[in-house]
Structures are given as structure tokens and as C-alpha cells.
Amino acid sequence: MLKPGGVAVIVYWWRDTPLQWRLERLARMFAGRGGSNESDKLSAVGNTPSHFPHSLQWFETQDWPFRYQIEPFRVIGNTFMRSYVNDGWTGKLSLKGVFALQQIAPSYCGRYGQMPAIILRKDHSAVREAE
């Protein structure tokens, strides 16, 4: 519940994230692992949450009684980090690149990255409607 004028932030986990999949393909090319196979997508059991999250498409088709905005929280998940981001300079450079992408295109990263921050806002006018 939110009071009128209140704000809440929910960190979620999208199912089937195309941005992480594209970044994985790019990382595989630079790491020399090849593979652009759809079955190589990072949706292995170790990367899948146990609660079966809904997709972005499902979320956007709901008739929510509140205003919301989607911002990036994390573009890539833990399995991607463990697989492709090392402790050396290349790992630091990779993370800087992901951070720059979030700064340049926050809406895109929130919608298509691994973990969005969904910001809910309750209008001040909600009090008047309830009375």
C-alpha cells in the first residue's frame, strides 16, 4: 500500500531477456567461444529464479491501477557475470561498457535487461477519489 503521493520501487527479474542474450553473443565472440546458437542462451537452471517470473510483455498488458516507470537495476545476471566478467582489466572494461549502456539508454536497459527497477507512483488525487 502506498499513501497518496507515495513511491515504491520493486526490483524484478524478467524472463527471456534479449539484451543479456545479445551481450552474451558479443562476449562469446571476444572470448573466442563462438556460438550464436539460440540454445546457448543464458537460461540454464543455474540462472533461472525459482519463482517463474512473468515477461515484460505480460507486465505491459495488465491494467494496473497505478503509474509506473521501468528503469534498469542490473542489465546482466550472476551467471553471465561468472561466465564472462573476469577480475582483470577486460572484466572491468566490460562492466564499464554495461554501465555506459545503462547511462545512454536507461529505458531500453530497464525493459530488456535482466533485472528492472519498477517504480510505482500513487497520485495525490487518489485521496479525493476514495472520499
Closest CA to 12 of 102, 122, 120: 120
Predicted TM-score (pTM) of this structure:
0.68
Residue-wise pLDDT for 67-100, tens only, equals 899 999 988 888 888 888 888 888 888 889 999 9
- CA dist 87 and 24 (Å) reads 17
pLDDT > 90? residue 9: yes
Q: How confident is the model at residue 38 (pLDDT cuts 50, 70, 90)?
A: very low
- CA dist 77 and 9 (Å) reads 19
Q: How confident is the model at residue 103 (pLDDT cuts 50, 70, 90)?
A: very high
pLDDT > 50? residue 43: no
Q: Domain segments of the chain: what residues? A: 7-130
Q: Output phi, psi for 120, to 5 deg.
A: -100, 140
**Given the C-alpha cell 545476471, which residue does it identify?**
77
Transcribe the chain into DSSP letters: ---TT-EEEEE---SS-HHHHHHHHHHHHHHT-----GGGSS-SGGGS-TT-PPPHHHHHHS--SSEEEEEEEESS-HHHHHHH--SSHHHHHHHHHHHHHHHH-HHHHHHHSSEEEEEEE--TTHHHHH-
- CA dist 27 and 24 (Å) reads 5
pLDDT > 80? residue 126: no
